[in-house]
Amino acid sequence: MPYHRSRARKRFEIDIVIFLKTLGEAFSSKCSSHSVRGFALCSAVLLCSARLESYLEDLLGDWSQSVRAPHLTTDQLPKRTRAFLLNQAGILAAYRRYVCYGSESELLSKLEAFVGQSTYEFAIDGRAIPQFPIQAIYRDRKYPSVKNLQDLFNRFGFSNIFDELNRIGRRDTKALLISFNDLRTEMAHTGMPIGLTPGDIRLHIKNVRSVVGYIDRLFYSHVAKSVGAARWTV
């Protein structure tokens, strides 16, 4: 089955079209307010960043629903994802206390609460994929910084997400994202940078749209190879 855009990408691109259209209206002959134009530029960047974050949530949320099909089993998921889902916060906290205080009795008492939970099914091949909170995978990494994206997709088995994205896009995707995020941060703290033009803003937004397209294609390949292209949401 050939690649086609995910539902998450479609929703993202609809919003991007609106942002670019609104910028065109703000800088048309019908609008002469410098304040309105400045607000339009800043809003387009900040909203684009927010929509990028929403895209990641939607993409992974749809994936988590699709892999719960009855015939899919745990061994079809990347081992890195399974390993991450085994490391629940309560278990990690219990081991941290054990490292600090060395009480095996306390450790075992805390671990008893997790015995028998369906989460441990991820450790065994051939089991039905249990329900799991997808938010646990992306909650602390959904802000689309370079580091967060690297960590987030590492949880799906990509050791270097930007190497993969660069291969697909034949561009330095890390540099594109850093440039956009630096602009977003500057606008959030100090407002509209001096000398930046509508063309500059449009280019930044279009670059983000391209990065989303590369991520979408890469994640499609991941889904197709692991659980089958039929599980790709449209």
The 3-state DSSP class for residue 128 equals strand
Max CA separation in the chain (angstroms): 75
pLDDT of residue 115: 80
Torsion angle in degrees (nearest 10) through CA of 46, 50, 56, 57: 170
What percent of the chain stands above pLDDT 70? 100
pLDDT digits (tens, 9 = 90+) for 73-111: 999 999 999 999 988 777 888 888 889 888 888 888 888
Long-range contacts (CB closer than 8 Å, 24 or more residues apart) made by 9-17: 9/55, 9/59, 9/212, 9/213, 9/216, 11/54, 11/55, 11/58, 12/51, 12/52, 12/54, 12/55, 12/58, 12/209, 12/212, 13/209, 13/212, 15/47, 15/51, 16/48, 16/51, 16/205, 16/208, 16/209
Q: What is the pLDDT of residues 192-225, one digit of tens each?
A: 777 788 899 999 999 999 999 999 999 999 999 9
